[in-house]
Structure 1
Amino acid sequence: DLPPPSTRERPPGCKTVFVGGLPENATEEIIQEVFEQCGDITAIRKSKKNFCHIRFAEEFMVDKAIYLSGYRMRLGSSTDKKDSGRLHVDFAQARDDFYEWECKQRMLAREERHRRKMEEDRLRPPSPPAIMHYSEHEAALLAEKLKDDSKFSEAITVLLTWIERGEVNRRSANQFYSMVQSANSHVRRLMNEKAAHEQEMEQAKESFKNALTGILTQFEQIVAVFNASTRQKAWDHFSKAQRKNIDIWRKHSEELRNAHSEQLMGIRREEEMEMSDDDSGDNPSKKLRVEDSGKDKSLYNVK
C-alpha cells in the first residue's frame, strides 16, 4: 500500500482536482476512462502541457481521485516516453466549487435559523387573547361568566381591564356595580373551597397518623422478638455469626422504631397546640366569614 499522497490545503467545497504528470499522448477520452472510476465527472479541462483539471459531481469523489497520485500511467504496451507518465493529483481551487459551497452554507444557515425560530415559537407561552371592547351586550355576557367558577378567572381579568380603561361612567355604573358585586360573591365561594381543602387535609393527616400508629405497633413487636432472642435461655443456642446478625437487626429496628415514635409524638404535640389555640379564642377564619356575611347583608340593604 502506498502512503497517502501529500497535498495542499483543501479549499472549501472542493470538487476539482489538478492532475499532472499525464502522458503527452493522453487524450481527454483516456483521462475520462481512468478517473471516472472515482465518480461522475462533470468537466475535464485539458492543457496543451501534461496536466488537466477534472471536476467531479460530489466532494467525496475528489478523495478517491487523490489516491491515484503517484501511480504510473502507460498507454497500451508502448514504451515511448510520450505514452507514459507518473500521475500527481492534488486539490485545485475553482470558482464554481467555492460559489456552490457558499450557497450551501447560506442554505444551511437559513435552515438552522428556521429550526431555531420553530423551537423558540414552540417553547414560547401562548399570547393571552385580546380583551374585547366594552359594550352593554359584552357586559351582560361577562356578568354571567363571573357567576361561573370555571370562567371566573378569565372574566375577572376582562372586568379589571375595562375598569382600568375608564369604561365606568354614569350610564354604565349600575352594570359595573353588579359585576363588582358578583366578584365579591366569589369570595364566599373561595372561602368554602378553602374550608373543603382544609377538611381533606385534616382527614389525610388523621389517616397518616393511624397508619403510623399501626407501623409503630409492629416495630414494637419486632423489637420485642429481638429482645427475647437475646435472653440467655435462647441466646446460648445461637452460633456466633447468628448472634452478630440478630444484634445488628435489633439495633437497626430500635433506631427505626424510635424515629417513628418521635414522628408520631410530634404529630400529637401539634394537635395539642392546635386545640389549645382553638380554646384560647375564636377562630379567625370563622370570624372573617361572619364579618363578610354581615357586609353582604348591608350591601343588599343598600341595593
Structure 2
Amino acid sequence: VPGFDPSLSMMTGITPINPMIPGMGLVPPPPPTDVPVVKEIIHCKSCTLFPPNPNLPPPSTRERPPGCKTVFVGGLPENATEEIIQEVFEQCGDITAIRKSKKNFCHIRFAEEFMVDKAIYLSGYRMRLGSSTDKKDSGRLHVDFAQARDDFYEWECKQRMLAREERHRRKMEEDRLRPPSPPAIMHYSEHEAALLAEKLKDDSKFSEAITVLLTWIERGEVNRRSANQFYSMVQSANSHVRRLMNEKAAHEQEMEQAKESFKNALTGILTQFEQIVAVFNASTRQKAWDHFSKAQRKNIDIWRKHSEELRNAHSEQLMGIRREEEMEMSDDDSGDNPSKKLRVDDS
C-alpha cells in the first residue's frame, strides 16, 4: 500500500487522531458540570407559562412541613379562575382541593406528597392568560410549601400506623424467640398422687415430679383427707436427699481420682524434663562442648534455657498441688479433733 509505514502502523502523511480527545475519538465528551436546569415554556389551553430568567437565583421556599401535600400559590393573575388554576397544576398530579382567595393567591392540596415537588418547580414562572397584554391577565407565580392541618393529621395517622406495625413486628419476633411455655400441671387426685409417688422414687423423673408436688402444696391441695398421701410424697422427697449425697460423694471420688491421675502424669512429665535438662547440661560441659560448631552451640543453649523454663513451670504447678493437699489434710485434722483445737487455742 503506498504511503504505509510499517514501523508506525498507520498511513504516513496523515495526522493521527487522539481517541481520548473529547468529541474526536471513541470516548464521548464528558457531560458539562454545574449547568443549571433550563426551564422551557409551558403551553396550556387557557394560558402560557414563561420560564424565569436562568441567571436569577432560584425562588426561596420555607421549611417543608411533615407530610406536606398542600402548596401556596401567589402572584396569580387577577383574572385567573379556579378552572385555569386547575388546568395548570393538574399536570403535577391529582388535585383534591383548591382554596382560592379574593386576592391573587390560592392553596392547592394534592393527593400525594411527591406531587408537591412538581408544583414547586413552577415557582418563578410568569403566567399569561391567552394572548392578552393586560396586567390583570398576567402574574409571576410564587409556589411554596403550605402548612395544613389536614396534611399534619394524615401524617400523624400514618406515623401511628407505622409505629403499630413496628410494635406488632417486634412482638411477633419476641414471641418467635420466646422459649415454649412448660406444660400445664395436672390437678390433684388420688390416682395422680399415686403415680406421682412412683415418679418421686425414679431418679430420671424426680425433677418433674418434685415440681408437681410443689405446685399442689402451693395450691392448697393438702387437707385432712390427703395429708397422709402428701406426707408419704414429702418423705420420698426426703429420701432423695440421701441419693443426692451419695451421688455427690461419687463425683467427689471421681474428682479425687482425676486429681491423683493428673498429679502422677505431671510427675512423670517433670521427670522427663529433668532428664532432658540433664542432657543439655552435659552437652555444655567442655568435654563435649568443644566438638560442637558455633551454630550448634547456639541452638543447644537456646534449647536448654527453654527446657529449664518449662521444667520450672511444671515444678511450680506440682508444688502447688501438693501444698493444696497438705492444706486439705490439715483442715481435715482440725475438723476431726475439735477438742484438740480448743486446747491449742486456749494455750
Structure 2: state its 5+ residue gaps.
1-54
Residue of 144, 154, 160 corresponding to 1:90: 144
Distance 2:219 2:342 in 1: 32
* Contact in 2 for aligned 1:5/1:66 (Cα 8 Å): no
Where does 1:91-110 land on structure 2 (aligned, <5 Å)?
91-110=145-164
The change in CA–CA distance for 1:166 and 1:92 in structure 2 (over 3 A counts) is: closer
Comparing 87-96 with 6-15, greater Cα deviation is found at 6-15
CA drift of 1:199 comes to 3.8
CA drift of 1:221 comes to 7.4
Comparing 153-162 with 257-266, greater Cα deviation is found at 153-162
The change in CA–CA distance for 1:175 and 1:89 in structure 2 (over 3 A counts) is: same
The change in CA–CA distance for 1:40 and 1:176 in structure 2 (over 3 A counts) is: same
Comparing 27-36 with 59-68, greater Cα deviation is found at 27-36
Give the structure-2-normalised TM-score.
0.58
CA drift of 1:77 comes to 7.3
CA drift of 1:189 comes to 2.5
For residue 300 of structure 1, what is the aligned residue in structure 2?
none
Deviation string, structure 1 residues 106-161 (Cα, Å, up to 9, x no partner): 32343455456556767878776665443212211211221232332232233345
Report the structure number with the largest CA radius of gyration: 2
Distance 2:246 2:295 in 1: 62
Distance 1:66 1:28 in 2: 19
Distance 2:112 2:343 in 1: 81
* Contact in 1 for aligned 2:73/2:105 (Cα 8 Å): yes
Distance 2:119 2:278 in 1: 86
CA drift of 1:270 comes to 2.7
CA drift of 1:32 comes to 5.1
Deviation string, structure 1 residues 62-93 (Cα, Å, up to 9, x no partner): 34433443344456777654554322111213
Higher relative contact order (CA 8 A, sep 6+): 1
Distance 1:34 1:285 in 2: 110
Distance 1:233 1:34 in 2: 112
Distance 1:26 1:237 in 2: 116
Distance 1:114 1:289 in 2: 73
CA drift of 1:174 comes to 3.7
Comparing 181-190 with 68-77, greater Cα deviation is found at 68-77
Give the structure-1-normalised TM-score.
0.65
- Give the alignment's Cα RMSD to 1 decimal: 7.2
* Contact in 2 for aligned 1:4/1:67 (Cα 8 Å): no
CA drift of 1:177 comes to 3.5
The change in CA–CA distance for 1:257 and 1:285 in structure 2 (over 3 A counts) is: farther
Tell me which protein shows more helix as a share of its residues: 1
The change in CA–CA distance for 1:57 and 1:252 in structure 2 (over 3 A counts) is: farther
The change in CA–CA distance for 1:257 and 1:38 in structure 2 (over 3 A counts) is: farther
The change in CA–CA distance for 1:274 and 1:13 in structure 2 (over 3 A counts) is: same
Comparing 15-24 with 68-77, greater Cα deviation is found at 68-77
* Contact in 1 for aligned 2:334/2:341 (Cα 8 Å): no
Identity of aligned residues (%): 99
CA drift of 1:16 comes to 0.4
Comparing 233-242 with 107-116, greater Cα deviation is found at 233-242
Match of 2:183, SS state, is coil
